[in-house]
Amino acid sequence: MSDKFSATLRIGDLNDFIAPSQGCVVSMKSGSDRLVDKPKKATKATPAIQTFETDPVKISLKDCLACSGCITSAETVMLEKQSLDEFLLNLNNGKTVIVSLSPQSRASIAVHYGLSPVQVFRKLTTLFKSLGVNAVYDTSCSRDLSLIESCNEFISRYKQSRSDEKDSPSYLPMISSACPGWICYAEKTLGSYVLPYISSVKSPQQSMGAIIKHHLCQKSGFRPGDVYHVTVMPCYDKKLEASRDDFVFQDESDHMTTEVDSVLTTGEVLDLLKLKAVDFRELDESPLDKLVSNVSEEGHLYGVRGSSGGYADTIFRYAAKTLFGHDIKGPLDFRTIRNSDFQEVTLEVEGKTVLKFALCYGFRNLQNVVRKLKIGKSDYHYLEIMACPSGCLNGGGQLKPKPGQSGKELIQALESAYMENVLVADPFENSIVRNLYDEWLEHPGSEKAKKHVHTEYHPVTKSITSQLHNW
């Protein structure tokens, strides 16, 4: 496409690439158009794709479900301010520029170059600061804040579900909210019946935006609008998330600003290296900025288990200990149920299952879970839902397999790299996050925490395009 960031696309332009591994979940149907099967062998995981023998269907961003499928992954559809060019234009323009790196992106670059995630972190710090960036932080730190708030929210919902007071429903299972593809799908297709089940806690990306724009700016005497905050993320849907109206606010000077100004995918960082003709392996390794980064004094990274954020793992351990006095050591016993992208873990007390959590990755699993939730047949207490098969490490914005490398081999390499040099640590023991509560948020679940680290979801009315049955 010549206009890469056009607000209106054609389906015919988007059928060249489906990623990570599923077709678009939106049903395309028309009363008069004839459906024909493409000559593509259907599998259990990937059904035969159908298309129209007619003029291309026109769609807009409001139609897109952000499922990491054709639209958001293949054509990098987003607002112009979310592009690499816009990032470069905002360097050296008088603003303070801050970059926040996701651990999934670091793992992807590490595997691509045969380096460790710590080396990648240090080399990216060198790269960005050579371009004019003032600080490079780590969203593993903001993830710990999101995890703590999620733990607190789950305990509240669980206790409410066991309470005799039923005036306020508990809405279990609680569903994770860190995946913007899932959130977009829920808001646009599932409506009000599922939205109350979704955790109100912001994703690590948006929690980092809140930390920087609401706390660090005030602490340092900066106007939020004078800080340009960029994140590096594993999927294009994070661009949609950063653009949500819920994350735009008015600062003390009555200027409207956003918590995250721009999002670069892992692939766009590779594009940046090529554009600047940088040999990444030869870059020096700079000291890491520790103000909002999970870095030990010895230079090790620390975090939690789980390549998509460790939500189910962390909340399960916390709930087991807080509610039932079970202090679980070592890995949790996740059992594969339908496929490797659907696993569950349970806790039994006196022969009764008191906690039942599940990891649910990819739309084929997601839709099964939602169907049971809708008819009241779900017996889970918590669901960690991610739109991409294999979770965030397999995000549509990650670096693709090298020639001769299978997708499965890449995922295995990413999972190994993700935990390399990482010290598993309890988020509640994170001294940086403790300071954030002491100086700013007071305590988990406080009114300040709800204001800055929680959000709301809204059923989205479909555009006129879909109402005309073209989508």
Domain with CATH 3.40.950.10 in the chain: 147-200+304-392+419-428
pLDDT score for 71: 43
Distance CA 380, CA 353 (A): 10
The tens digit of pLDDT for each residue in 296-348 reads 877 788 888 877 768 999 999 999 999 999 999 888 989 998 888 899 999 99
CB 205 within 8 A of CB 137: no
Give the H/E segment covering residue 106. Answer: helix 103-113
The tens digit of pLDDT for each residue in 243-272 reads 888 998 877 777 788 899 999 999 999 999
**pLDDT at residue 43 is higher than 60:** no
Burial class (CB in 10 A: 0-12, 13-18, 19+), 370: buried
Domain with CATH 3.40.50.1780 in the chain: 81-142+203-301+430-449
User: Which numeric CATH code is attached to 81-142+203-301+430-449?
Assistant: 3.40.50.1780
The tens digit of pLDDT for each residue in 138-188 reads 999 999 999 999 999 999 999 988 876 655 566 899 999 999 989 988 888
3-state DSSP call for residue 317? Answer: helix
pLDDT score for 47: 46
pLDDT score for 309: 65
pLDDT score for 355: 95
Strands 174-175 and 382-386: parallel
Residue 183 corresponds to which amino acid?
I
- Of 136 and 362, the structure prediction assigns the larger pLDDT to 136
**pLDDT at residue 59 is higher than 80:** no
Locate all alpha helices (DSSP H) within 266-362, ordered by sequence.
266-275, 311-324
Task: Give 422's strand partners.
Answer: 301
| pTM of the full structure | 0.82
- Of 471 and 326, the structure prediction assigns the larger pLDDT to 326
CATH of 147-200+304-392+419-428, one of 3.30.70.20, 3.40.950.10, 1.10.443.10, 3.40.50.300: 3.40.950.10
Token pair for residue 304? 């939690």
Token pair for residue 361? 């990755």
Segment 424-439 shows an average pLDDT of 94
pLDDT score for 168: 59
Locate all alpha helices (DSSP H) within 162-278, ordered by sequence.
180-185, 204-210, 217-220, 237-242, 266-275
3-state DSSP call for residue 346? Answer: strand
Distance CA 465, CA 471 (A): 7
**pLDDT at residue 17 is higher than 80:** no
Of residues 355, 244, 314, 293, the one with CA closest to residue 99: 293
Token pair for residue 255? 């200027």
CB 351 within 8 A of CB 326: no
Residue 109 corresponds to which amino acid?
I
For the chain, the average pLDDT equals 81
Per-residue confidence band for 11, with pLDDT thresholds at 50, 70 and 90: very low
**pLDDT at residue 446 is higher than 70:** yes
